[in-house]
Amino acid sequence: MFRQPKVAATLVAALMVVFRVDGMSGERRAAQPRACSPHEIIAHVAALSDDSMMGRAPGSEGDRAARRYIIKTLERYGIRPGAWRGFEQRVPLYRVREGTSEL
């Protein structure tokens, strides 16, 4: 299913922390976002690692598709953005090409 098992395992672990997997969390608090089942986590990892995401290189259409998927998923789980005006933060992107740097 996954071409890079270490990456997939890391994503699953991160999602478990973010989404507080059912059965692994302690008491639920009233204002908490809903929990995510292990099956949902696997489905999210599969969706994000699918070839339809076109590799997710920064600034690519695959990157934009992955960001849209993640934002919609977070909103469905009742997670709200933090200090920024949304889930995304603009940062400058730099492209480094082999053989172009100097010491």
By residue count, the chain amounts to 103
- Least confident stretch, 4-18, 32-46, 85-99: 4-18
Question: What pLDDT does 94 receive?
Answer: 79
Average predicted confidence (pLDDT) for the chain: 74
* Domain carrying residue 15: 5-24+32-76
Q: Is position 45 within any domain? A: yes
Q: Which residue has the higher pLDDT, 31 or 47?
A: 47
Q: Is position 92 within any domain? A: no
Q: Which residue has the higher pLDDT, 45 or 26?
A: 45
Q: Is position 95 within any domain? A: no
Q: Is position 97 within any domain? A: no
Q: What is the 3-state secondary structure (H, E, C) of the chain?
A: CCCCHHHHHHHHHHHHHHHCCCCCCCCCCCCCCCCCCHHHHHHHHHHHHCHHHHHHCCCCHHHHHHHHHHHHHHHHCCCCCCCCCCCCCCCCCCCCCCCCCCC
pTM (two decimals)? 0.59
Count of domains observed in the chain: 1
For the stretch 49-75, pLDDT in tens is 999 888 878 888 999 999 999 999 999
Q: Is position 18 within any domain? A: yes
Question: What is the rounded distance in angstroms from the CA atom of residue 19 to the CA atom of residue 15?
Answer: 6
